[in-house]
Structure 1
Amino acid sequence: MAGYPAKVNAKEGWIIDKLDQEKGREEDFSYSSEYDEADQDTVYQDEYSDDQYLDEQNKTSKTGNKKGLWAAAAFAIPLLTKGKFIIIFLLSKLKFLFVFLKLSKFATTAVSMVATIWIYAVFYGAKFALGFVALLFIHEMGHYFTAKRVGLAVSGPVFIPFVGALIGMKENPKDAVTEAQVGYGGPLFGSLAAVLCLMLYWFTGYELALALAYVGFFLNIFNLLPVHPLDGGRIVSAVSPYLWLVGIPVLIYLMIKSFNPILLIIVFLGLVQVYNLWKKRHDLSAYYQVPLKERVQFAILYFGLVGSLAMGITYTLELLA
């Protein structure tokens, strides 16, 4: 009996060993299971952390986008504001450009006027040059304002040294009466300017004013010679174009007595105008058809101004002597 228990004990020991081994395996398995669960929890926690990270990144991205938008707005608003001010600034400058363009039609007048004054100043002195060109300017502005009053489109005066000045007619007068009105405006204004120079001499005794008065009277009476294209030739168109035949011989006499190429040009243009009138007399009959009353009025105005200027020349010559 004593041997059996030993065997039993041995067998029990083996069983115990087996049980211990199995228990160890179970413990190992349970440990590994716990480890796996821990790993799973860790992985889950890691995955959860990744989601949190993504959420935080999204929040950060949104915050960054908002900051970017605010930064862009902070940059764009001043830029747009500056752009607005730049546009306003440019428009304000363009306003002066528009004014300049509006006034540019007188640019040729100003430039030619200054150039003529400078050239005359070289030969006759600055004071006389300034006064003489002023007389020419007033004469031409008489044509300009009269043309505007009767509805004709004209340009500003253009000055040509040693020739005179003229305004550009952008359209022809509709009849001889309109042409005579525009032609009369220049000598009328010019004669009044010469009278003002004479009055200046009366009140101040300034001899240059007296000299300018004489020049003004002479300049305007010369322009009243009844020869086209002078002012006198245009005025007598409303009286009788045949008066041109009187003016041409007078100009030829003046040219022979004191040769001047300008006089030669005027004589040539006058002869051409007479020839054209004779050649197209039937076509132009309506243009020169003026009522008798208006013919008489223009005759009185014309010869009255010629006589007044002749008296002014005589008077100033006596004072200059």
Structure 2
Amino acid sequence: MSRASTRLLRHINVTPSLRQVRPISSSSVTSASITSNTITDKPPPPPQEFTYGAYQKVGGPSAKPVHTIRIPKFESLEAERAFRKLHHAAALRWLGYNGYNNEGAGGHVTVRDPILTDHYWINPHGKSFSHMRPEDLVLVSKGGEVKEGGNMHSINPAGHIIHSAVHEARPDVVAAVHCHSVPSKAFSAMGFYNDHSIYEGFGGIAFKADEGVHIAQALGNTKGVILQNHGHLTVAKTVDGAAFLFGAMDRCIQAQLLADAACAGRGTSTIKIAHEEAEYTRNTYNDEMVYIMFQSAFEDVVRASNGEFPMHVQGEIPRE
């Protein structure tokens, strides 16, 4: 496994001393438990405000200013809504291009509305990710009602149950991504260093409200949760960040599976990095950093749209 991959995600050997198992009562889960990997202290509550500062100045005091990619500011909440919807649709297209829309109508991405903050936008049920447009997105209330102002189209009931509980439990979360990855089904004992969790009590398709609550509880304060035998879910303060984390988590799971298989065949073990180095890297991936990491993919989607998607929305202000 590459050193870059181990810096982003670290393999965690699951033993009783490294896990906290909390049983939960549920009408839909017979022997459910929520598990968190706790190599060190439990991650602190996520900050409500955005964390910035992904770039460090290089080149010395005489270096000329250069363009940097930043999370923009907005002239109005309406402009921010348009921005979120554009990037929401682009994230869905990127997920579709990468094969995450290949299990029927499963998979959903939600983005909190900046004006009606107890409402969210979600992809319409049964529609291709690869052709999503901002006007296709559905506006949904906290109670699951499809509202005018968005696409009056049905939504995946399981998507509402899972995502509404996540948004309710995590006011800091703007976006959540959940699709069904084969690697994450196969491998359920690793994740973002000191910043992931595992939900072991998969109770079937999430049509009961308490299943969503249990998933939100399992997510806790982390960036992602692996749903055993199901898939995984990631969250962030931007849909760009949540999409990047979803793909990064999936790719690192695949890399870990390959590394473990190779080591097993050779009778060796994977190389682990020190806690300090892993913790430093984890903290580097702040809200702005994960947003930046997705912008090349966003550009790919915009260019592939042949003019259908703009790079910017009206009222978007570059951040210095």
What TM-score bracket applies, with the shorter chain setting the length? under 0.3
Higher share of residues assigned helix = 1
Taking structure 1 as the reference length, the TM-score comes to 0.19
Q: Answer with 1 or 2: which has the greater Rg.
A: 1
Higher share of residues assigned strand = 2
Structure with greater contact order relative to length (CA < 8 Å, sep ≥ 6): 2
